[in-house]
Amino acid sequence: MKIKYFVFAFALLIGIKTTVKADEGMWVPLFIESLNYQEMKEMGLKLTADQIYSTNHSSLKDAIAIFGRGCTSEVISDQGLLLTNHHCGYGQIQAHSSVEHDYLTEGFWAESMEDELPNPGLTATFLIRIEDVTAKVLNEVNDDMTEEERYEKIRSASDELKTQATDGTHYNAMVRSFFEGNEYYMFVYETYNDVRLVGAPPSSVGKYGADTDNWMWPRHTGDFSIFRIYTDKDGNPAEYSEDNIPLKPRHFLPVSIAGVEKGDFAMIMGYPGSTQRYLTSWGVKMALDISNQTVVDVRDKKLKIMMEDMQADPAVRIKYASKYARTSNYWKYFIGQTKGLKRLKVYDKKKALEEDFRNWVGQNAQREEKYGEALDLIASAYDQISKYEKVRIYQREAIMRGSEIIGFAADFSDLKRMLGEDTEQEKIDAEIQKLKEEAVDYFKDYNLPTDKKLLAAMMEMYHKNIPADQQPDYLKEINKKYKGDYDTYAEKVFDKSVFTSLESVNAFLDSPSAKKIDKDPAYEAAKAFNNFYVQELRPQTLDAYDKLDKGNRLFVAGLREMQPDKKFYPDANFTMRLTYGQVLDYYPADAVHYNYYTTLEGVMEKEDPNNWEFVVPEKLKELYNEKDYGPYGEGDVMKVCFLTNHDITGGNSGSPVINGRGELIGLAFDGNWEAMSGDIAFEPELQRTINVDIRYVLFIIDKYAGAKRLIDEMKIVKTRVKPNKEMVEKTEEEPAAVEN
């Protein structure tokens, strides 16, 4: 996501009645029983609501974990075996790779638990419970407060609640805003710190199709990797130790090899990152006119520089593989989102909704008093924010995420401050040790010539594309000094900086000096851009963001009051959600039909030995030619991926696709190109989730990798869930052509 804003379903059919339900909604599990359970049951759910989410006994939620800092994973054995996407585990696979042991290219399979590889910093986090704390958080808030005063009251109340919930435990908690600050919920978590790499297919399986197929259907990617959670001898979270033992989970998912068919009920539980379904027309306009293309332009340049060096040197390819993948994913996403927003006329539909809202508000003096300023606040806010949106993106994408030497140098600001103050030597020594450890990881995946090119390119783009009054004097001065020759500028920075190699950094840290940090050219650049942005640019939009917060809060509250019979769900914010729907095909355009599954035959049809994105391993070709699929195929057919009409987004990567009995049938890993505007506007007839079939996952583990010990850990289920006959009959009806 690869998988990537509210509750307005925009019909795409012209003058016809749809026959398939639009399965929109990222639902908070706490409310499944009251909001969704009956409908889910009618569609084919066999579990009780309590078996999905419970704080009193084992339930599905106990098998679902946040993987690292941005993906979802699921436990699939009673020994803590953890399944997620290949692209979610990509950073760990890359970190263990070298030219001699290229696990990215060759794959990795631990032959025993003793061979499973530790991953410092990687965590798996489970939800313990959810609490509605709205009344407590807003207890001291009133309408006469400024937004800053409101925020401080909310922060103070939230901190107190988190302390009360975790005091005397090893749990952690967070209080999150829902419905634009109208409701608040607390989430209590348990985090495990010893998560080891167990297995990963080669990138020719786990990343098959790479950038070309990203966000596309048909898809033929075995996007999975396997880890294991370890605990101390008492089953508690612990840092890595050889004495640790596999996790005994509260719940794990049985694995179904019975297969899926069109119309089957399915649900996804996971951690969707961020949506903007309540985004107004002004926000859509800013995305179309400024934000999206700016991200695309900057990332396009970075990707070309990285790829050139990656193709020239295998060592650089390994070092930059994960960085390139992270940069590329949303580069392509924003291209697709812009096209989708325009094609589906989302701006016009938002304007129409806002006009309905104004009319509704104007019908009643009390509504006018309560909600009358909402849209005017939002409009005024965007008028100011849009003036600084491009430079905001450049600060993030070109400076702090551009050339790595800038961000790395900025990490030494705390040490510089300590050295310049009367700080205890013990604290200084601790900071030095931390920086030395960070430097080892940093330089392991660093190529100086590539970063030098990035520095020159990012500075040049910033100078050419950002208005002069939004550029720091530093940039104007170097442009004048070097007469626009940013390559020469970059050479000088790298010649004089101490932040260019592990050896020079360690030598400096052995005898650190605040003056030397301050005079370092890489640190000078970081300080100049950051100070200018924080002190000069960001203050220009602070009041506007306060207006936007208040306007959005009033607008969403008003919408919910305006439509009292509608079941509303909150935007995604990387908290656990459930979405449900069916296995389903779709019609992306006039006279075009996409089947709901792909097969291994399609992998072979796409093969191109001269294109790294479509190389097929010889072993896989042998298994295909022999039709040696074991119990995972359907006769001579090996299914690879399938579609569902679930509502997901980034963060759902690695989420389990679960059948009506609570069994694992696949892993969600992407969305489809035709619905790229889905984070802002759900598209019921087009929106699809791309999932890797769990049978293909098991086939690769067993027949391709020979890692049957992992299969033996799992609880394999062979019988199909009988679907709801009425729902199947509905999905068998062929829909009319959609508007293109």
Helix (H) or strand (E) holding 643: strand 639-644
Instruction: Judge whether residue 13 has pLDDT over 70.
Output: no
Q: How confident is the model at residue 10 (pLDDT cuts 50, 70, 90)?
A: very low
Q: How many whole angstroms separate alpha carbon 296 and alpha carbon 172?
A: 37
Query: What pLDDT sits at residue 721?
Result: 77
Interval 297-326 mean pLDDT: 94
Q: How confident is the model at residue 726 (pLDDT cuts 50, 70, 90)?
A: low
Catalytic residues: 87, 223, 653
Query: What pLDDT sits at residue 2?
Result: 42
Q: How many whole angstroms separate alpha carbon 510 and alpha carbon 429?
A: 10
Instruction: Judge whether residue 643 has pLDDT over 60.
Output: yes
Compare 637 and 723 and report the one with higher pLDDT. Answer: 637
- Quote the longest CA-to-CA distance of the chain: 76
Encode 166-234 in three state secondary structure: HCCCCCEEEEEEECCCCEEEEEEEEEECEEEEEEECCHHHHCCCHHHHCCCCCCCCCCCEEEEEEECCC
Instruction: Judge whether residue 727 has pLDDT over 90.
Output: no
Instruction: Judge whether residue 12 has pLDDT over 70.
Output: no
Please calculate the CA angle 621-624-628 and round it to the nearest 5 degrees: 125
Instruction: Judge whether residue 740 has pLDDT over 70.
Output: no
Query: What pLDDT sits at residue 722?
Result: 72
Supply the angle between the helices 346-362 and 542-562 in degrees, to the nearest 10. Answer: 70
Residue 144: CB atoms within 10 Å: 7
Query: What pLDDT sits at residue 676?
Result: 87
Interval 640-650 mean pLDDT: 96
Instruction: Judge whether residue 22 has pLDDT over 80.
Output: no
Which residues is 188 bridged to in the sheet?
129, 173
In this predicted model, what pLDDT tens digit does every residue of 111-163 receive, in sequence order?
A: 999 999 999 999 999 999 999 999 999 999 999 999 999 999 999 999 999 99
Percentage of the chain modeled with pLDDT above 90 = 89
Please calculate the CA angle 210-214-219 and round it to the nearest 5 degrees: 90
- Selection from 203, 465, 213 nearest residue 336 by Cα: 213
Query: What pLDDT sits at residue 720?
Result: 86
Query: What pLDDT sits at residue 422?
Result: 82
Distances (CA, A) of 598 to 4, 675, 733: 21, 19, 21
For the record, the structure tokens of 614 come out as 């479509």
Query: What pLDDT sits at residue 683?
Result: 87
* Contact in structure between 172 and 66 (CB atoms under 8 Å): no
In this predicted model, what pLDDT tens digit does every residue of 160-173 receive, in sequence order?
A: 999 999 999 999 99
Q: How confident is the model at residue 735 (pLDDT cuts 50, 70, 90)?
A: very low
Pairing relationship of beta strands 689-693 and 639-644 according to DSSP bridges:
antiparallel
Distances (CA, A) of 600 to 2, 361, 637, 692: 22, 56, 7, 12
Place of tokens 């304007």: 351
SS3 state at 570: coil
Instruction: Judge whether residue 590 has pLDDT over 50.
Output: yes
Q: How confident is the model at residue 723 (pLDDT cuts 50, 70, 90)?
A: low
In this predicted model, what pLDDT tens digit does every residue of 493-508 receive, in sequence order?
A: 999 999 999 999 999 9
Interval 694-708 mean pLDDT: 98
Interval 658-668 mean pLDDT: 98
Q: How many whole angstroms separate alpha carbon 51 and alpha carbon 14?
A: 41
In this predicted model, what pLDDT tens digit does every residue of 366-401 receive, in sequence order?
A: 999 999 999 999 999 999 999 999 999 999 999 999
Burial class of residue 234 (count of CB atoms within 10 Å of its CB; 0-12, 13-18, 19+):
exposed
**Mean of the per-residue pLDDT values of the chain:** 93
In this predicted model, what pLDDT tens digit does every residue of 263-290 receive, in sequence order?
A: 999 999 999 999 999 999 999 999 999 9
* Contact in structure between 579 and 648 (CB atoms under 8 Å): yes
Burial class of residue 326 (count of CB atoms within 10 Å of its CB; 0-12, 13-18, 19+):
middle
Residue 480: CB atoms within 10 Å: 9
Pairing relationship of beta strands 716-717 and 592-594 according to DSSP bridges:
unpaired
Interval 34-57 mean pLDDT: 95
- Going by C-beta distance under 8 Å and a sequence separation of 6 or more, which residues neighbour residue 192? 123, 124, 125, 126, 229, 230, 231, 237, 247
Instruction: Judge whether residue 7 has pLDDT over 50.
Output: no
For the record, the structure tokens of 30 come out as 């706490």
Interval 1-24 mean pLDDT: 37
Instruction: Judge whether residue 18 has pLDDT over 90.
Output: no
Interval 571-598 mean pLDDT: 96
- Going by C-beta distance under 8 Å and a sequence separation of 6 or more, which residues neighbour residue 609? 615, 616
